[in-house]
Amino acid sequence: MTKEINTHQLLLGGERVTLECKKATKGVPTSLWDTYSAFANTYGGTILLGVVEHMDEHDKAKRFEIVGVEDADKIRKDLWNIVNSKEKVNVNLLHDDDIQTIDFDG
């Protein structure tokens, strides 16, 4: 099974306690850190960047749109810089394999 299929299946369940989607087209959104903190203080979870939720869509198969990000390498670098900054995050709970870049049709 490919990562793309897994991502689409993950989205079918909608956002929940362990899944949050962020548009993040141009960079790491500031709201990501509230989610990071909430996940760190509960059960953990998955944050998908480059995904928009259309709240007015009732069909779960159409509710989420993968819009991607402009510069995945920059976002990844910025995320690591912030998560390793003691000014922003008390403890970095992430490992290299926790952050993945997934290519969807380029």
pLDDT at residue 16 in the model = 92
Residue in the block written with tokens 């993968």: 66
Is the pLDDT score of 1 beyond 70?
no
Give a yes or no: residue 104 inside a domain. no
Q: Out of 1-15, 19-33, 36-50, 53-67, which region has the weakest mean confidence (pLDDT)?
A: 1-15
pLDDT classification of 70: cutoffs 50, 70, 90: very high
pLDDT at residue 2 in the model = 52
pLDDT at residue 106 in the model = 66
Give a yes or no: residue 103 inside a domain. no
Question: In whole angstroms, what is the distance from residue 88 CA to residue 81 CA?
Answer: 10
Give a yes or no: residue 101 inside a domain. no
Give a yes or no: residue 73 inside a domain. yes
pLDDT classification of 19: cutoffs 50, 70, 90: very high
Enclosing domain of residue 86: 3-91
User: If we measure between CA atoms, which residue out of 65, 79, 77 comes closest to residue 30?
Assistant: 79
Give a yes or no: residue 38 inside a domain. yes
Task: Identify residue 58 by its one-letter amino acid code.
Answer: H
Give a yes or no: residue 100 inside a domain. no
Give a yes or no: residue 64 inside a domain. yes
Reported as a single tens digit per residue, the pLDDT across 27-43 is 999 999 899 999 999 99
What total of structural domains would you count in the chain?
Answer: 1
